[in-house]
Every structure is written in C-alpha cells, then in structure tokens.
Amino acid sequence: MDRRRFLAASTVAGATAAASTLPAPAIAQDRTEWTMVTSWPRNLPGPGIAANKLAERITTLSGGRLTVTVSAAGELVPGRGVFDAVADGTAQLYHSVPAYWGSKSIGILLFGSQPFGLVAEEQIGWLTHGGGQALYDEMYARFGLKGFLCGNSGPQWAGWFRNEITSIDDYQGLRFRTTGLASEMMAKVGAAVVAMGGADMFQALQSGALDAGEFIGPWTDSALGYYQIAPYYYWPGVGEPSSAEECGISKEAYDALPEDLQQAVAHACQSLYDEVTTEYNTNHAIALQQLVSEHDVQVRRLPDDVIVALGNAAGEVIAELRENEDELVRRIVESFLAYRASMVEYMQYASGGIMNARQLDFSYG
C-alpha cells in the first residue's frame, strides 16, 4: 500500500477548498446524477473503499436511473467539509462518520459511537429496532439532511503509543488524536486531545506533535503506516466499541426522488452495513497478524485500572449529556441508554459467553 499517496490526498483534504457550487442534479430521460463527497482519501482501505461500494450499489439498485459519482476528500471539498457541502447543495450526498459532527450537535455523536457503548450489531439494532432512526431523522432534518448508517468499522483500538501505558497517570498531558465522544472521555483523564484526519496523524506522530492516537483498526491503520513511529498498539478500544459509517443525503434531493429510487438509496445503505462491517473484521484480523509478524508491533492490553478509570470518565460524559439544554439531545441519550442496558444484560450470555468460551484451553481442529 502506497502510504505517500494517502498522505498526499490528506494534505489536499486539509487545504481550504475554493468555493464552488454544483449545478442542480442533472435529470434527463428519467436519469439523475448525484455527486458523493467523502471524508476519505480515494480508495483508502476501509472507509474509502466502502464509499465506492455505496455509490456503485445505489447506481445498480436504481437500474442506472440514479448514478453516483464519488469525489474523495479534497477533490471538491475538504474531508471535514462534507456535511456542510451537502447541507448547502454543493453535493447531493456524503460518506463519512457521525463522530465528526459534534460541532453541529453533540447529540449526533451518539449515532456513530459511544465510549463503552454499543458494538456494531447493537448500533444498527438501536436504530432499526430501538427507536434510534426516528431520532436520527429528527436531528438531521434540522440541517436539511437525511441520514442512513451504511457500515461499521467494528471494534476500534485504544491506539498507537510511542511509550507503554502502565497507569492512568500516563495520560496526563498526552497529546492524543481521537474523535467523537472519545475526545470528551480522554480529556477527562488529562489527555491533550488533538482533532485531525487519519492520514495527518502519521505526520503528527512523525514530527512529535502527537504522542499517541487512534484511527480505526489494523487494516486501515497499517496502510497509513502508524507502526513505523509508534510501536505499541493497545486494546481494547473502549472509546469506540464500534464506529458507524453514514450516508448523509440532501433531504431536498432525497424527497424529490420517486419512491422506488428512495427505496433504492435506503436499501443500498442498509444492505452494505453488514457487508462493510464483516469486511473490516476480516481484513483487520489479517492485517494484525502481518503487523506483528512483519513489523514487530507490540500488541498490549490496557491495564484493568486504566480501563476502569476510562469507564468512570465515560460515565461523566454521558451524565453531562443527560443534562444537555437541547431536549432532543436528552431524548437521544435516554433512548441510547435504554437500549444499551438491555444489550449489556443479554450479550454477556450471548456473544460475550461464546467469546470467553473460545479462549479456554482445548483442542480444536
């Protein structure tokens, strides 16, 4: 994987884009053309590939009546500018993560990931069966958007560190890259949180501007070369037990589609959720083996007392959200907490039980 290509793309993404406005979506003989802007360098393993798949899936399910062209980060707008670009009509849809939009409303962050929160199948379960989608729709309607989850990275990692972590005191003053509500959690344990793109994180680690950071997981992270600078790779990623990817669509453009094309867009997103999630997990497993065997990466588990301290910090973050002045944010938090409580109780017997059983010492295969 050519890391330089991704770094170059990220550098472009960080530049200020020239103001531009696309013409209205082209419609000819019942054919509509949309532009998708993304938060990722083109073809970045993981999210960049997932964005391409979504564009292709929408085009296919629509029978070619709705074609989607992908514009990667920096090609039309910066990666962190895609939300505004779709809201103001510069493009018709974007591929990104809710974890980037806390400046719009902190409530949005819960739709992407939550410290000590929901894993991938629980996250889509909350939206589909726990009332989350209606709240997601209500929040995004404020910005003229319609949102769908369309993938998930699976469990993320605690991060890449230059030095070992032995206690929670090691986070004091630690210059750390993360995003979403994990930023709030890390700040509470004393870390100096830095917001930046994933590819920019390599340059910051290399220059010494960062001491540590997390992005996604072994597959994507290995392509970006973090292991070259920070040899200690820590788990579990309690800051983001999963991280949902989303398709944000101009509500005006979506509402203008005939019903069958609206369904094509919705089904394209929904059908990709499991496909993208399992692709991440499959490739994460392969990449982790390569990181250890070929690059001498040191895989380390966070000490229990560190995990407990992070959990207490996460609890403070959620408690503050429950008191947010925005009534919609408070309803989102309560819905999330109710669904999480039911899953925590059940999953210890289900997935948790199986995972623990598989670690016991017995012969298999």
pLDDT single digits (tens) 113-172: 999 999 999 999 999 999 999 999 999 999 999 999 999 999 999 999 999 999 999 999
Please give the Cα distance from 104 to 152 (Å, whole number): 22
The domains found in the chain, sorted by start residue, are 3-153+241-283 (3.40.190.170), 159-240+298-358 (3.40.190.10)
Confidence (pLDDT) at 25: 53
| Residue ranges in the chain modelled with pLDDT below 50 | 1-23, 26-28
Query: What is the C-alpha to C-alpha distance for residues 304 and 238, in angstroms, rounded to an integer?
Result: 12
Q: Are 149 and 267 in contact (CB under 8 A)?
A: no
Which helix (H) or strand (E) element contains residue 207?
A: helix 198-207
Q: Residue 12's pLDDT is what?
A: 38
The pLDDT of residue 365 is 87
**Token match 């959990």: residue?**
311
Q: Compute, in degrees rounded to 10, the torsion defined by CA atoms 193, 196, 201, 205.
A: -40
Interatomic CA distance for residues 107 and 88, integer angstroms: 21
Supply the pLDDT for residue 29. 56
- Give the Cα-Cα-Cα angle 190, 196, 199 (nearest 5 degrees): 125
Q: Read off the tokens for 175.
A: 């210059």
Does the predicted TM-score (pTM) go above 0.75? yes
Residues in the chain: 365
- Nearest CA among 255, 201, 250 for reference residue 228: 201
Question: 3-state class of 359 per DSSP?
Answer: coil
| Rounded-to-integer distance, Cα 213 and Cα 200, Å | 11
